[in-house]
Amino acid sequence: MWWLLLIFLAVILFWGWFETWRIRVVKTRCESSNLPNSFNGYRIVLIGGLHLRRNSGWTRRIQDQIQRLNPDILLIGGNVKATHRSGNESTHELLSRFLEPLDPPGGILAVQGYRDRKKFWEELPEESRIELLSTSHKTIDREGGRLTFLGIQTAHASHLDRGINQLREALEPLGSGDYRILVGQSADLLRVAQGQPIDLILAVDNLHYQIRIPGWGVPRRDTKVPYSWGPGWVKEGLLSLYLNPGLGTRWIPFRFFYRPEITLIELTKK
């Protein structure tokens, strides 16, 4: 019987490895009466967990798919690396090459991930086109309407008090009338932002294990959200979160019912 068990384990391991290559493109909409008319149809592409390689077919597939989506803005939800031992300088070079053919009119925004190397984002080359949201915001004006993206410094939003304080700091300089999108790495942002003037939350997190057990959920740590929360839309209170499961893997190339994803969110006026 042991050989049947070995065959079963081999099939599971092969399937998990194969899943890491099965990148899916999810197209979804967010309808809101608060959205300015000038941003009706605004297209946001959300990615994260980029594990970049030189001359990689996997990387080129991601580039091609993003280009075909024709986004107005590109959001990177942290956790960018080549290998777990790669230095910042070499990873910056790979990231620059990855972004070279991508030129969305609204620019490229990023937030810190809890697996990014120390000072990875602070040490970006001066010529980098990436704008880091770190307890800060970027506002896009269009025909009298304003769309504001916010990010907080801590990627570990499960430290709720710290996340709430940083979000309040990021919101403080903003005026009224903006449509506000909070970008981050943790699904805990849905708890952090309760009661705050936020319209939408977009996050990228493989929840550590990139594994989903049917009928139970996603094993995780460093987060306070329910086990039933998984990729896709989650609503709590008056707020909605879209959780992207990322593109890379942690430690070993294995995914289980948790395919890598590129997400297109189209904002529509309700």
Domain boundaries, the chain: 2-269
Predicted pLDDT of residue 220: 64
Average pLDDT over every residue of 20-42: 93
**8-state DSSP, 53:** -
Phi, psi of 125 (to 5 degrees): -60, 150
Question: Helices 57-69 and 88-99 meet at what angle, rounded to 10?
Answer: 40
Is the confidence at residue 104, as pLDDT, over 90? yes
Q: Please give the pLDDT value at position 252.
A: 66
- Mean pLDDT, rounded, of the chain: 86
- Span 204-211, average pLDDT: 68
Is pLDDT at 54 greater than 90 in this prediction?
no
Grade residue 129 by pLDDT with cuts at 50, 70 and 90: very high
Q: Is the pLDDT of residue 103 over 70?
A: yes
Please give the Cα distance from 250 to 158 (Å, whole number).
19
Q: What is the enclosing helix (H) or strand (E) of 40?
A: none
Least trusted range by pLDDT, from 84-98, 113-127, 218-232: 218-232
Band (109; pLDDT cuts 50, 70, 90): very high
| Mean pLDDT of all residues in 60-76 | 96
Give percent of the chain above pLDDT 70: 85
**% pLDDT > 90, the chain:** 46
State the average pLDDT over residues 81-106: 88
Look up residue 153 and give its two tokens: 């410094």
- Sequence-distant (6+) residues with CB within 8 A of 134 are 111, 112, 121, 151, 152, 153
Are the CB atoms for 148 and 139 separated by under 8 Å? yes
Mean pLDDT over residues 84-91, rounded?
Answer: 82
Question: Phi and psi at residue 168, in whole multiples of 5°?
Answer: -60, -40
Binned at pLDDT 50, 70 and 90, residue 137 comes out as very high
Residue with tokens 């430290």: 159
- What's the half-sphere exposure (Cβ side, CA atoms, 13 Å) at 213? 7
Inform me whether the pLDDT recorded for 155 exceeds 90.
Answer: no
Pair of tokens at residue 150? 């916010």
- Give the C-alpha separation, 87 to 47, whole Å: 21
Please name which of 222, 40, 24 lies closest in space to residue 115, comparing C-alpha atoms: 222
Tell me the pLDDT band of 76, cut-offs 50, 70 and 90: very high
pLDDT in the model for residue 212: 67
The pLDDT of residue 65 is 96
| Confidence bin at 157 (pLDDT 50/70/90) | low
pLDDT classification of 32: cutoffs 50, 70, 90: very high
Looking only at the bridges linking them, the beta strands covering 179-184 and 145-151 are parallel
Tens of pLDDT, residues 160-197: 677 888 999 999 888 787 899 999 988 889 888 999 99
pLDDT in tens, 215-254: 666 666 556 676 667 788 999 988 999 999 888 766 667 6
Q: Options 3.60.21, 3.40.50, 1.10.287, 1.10.150; which CATH number does 2-269 get?
A: 3.60.21
Q: How confident is the model at residue 52 (pLDDT cuts 50, 70, 90)?
A: confident
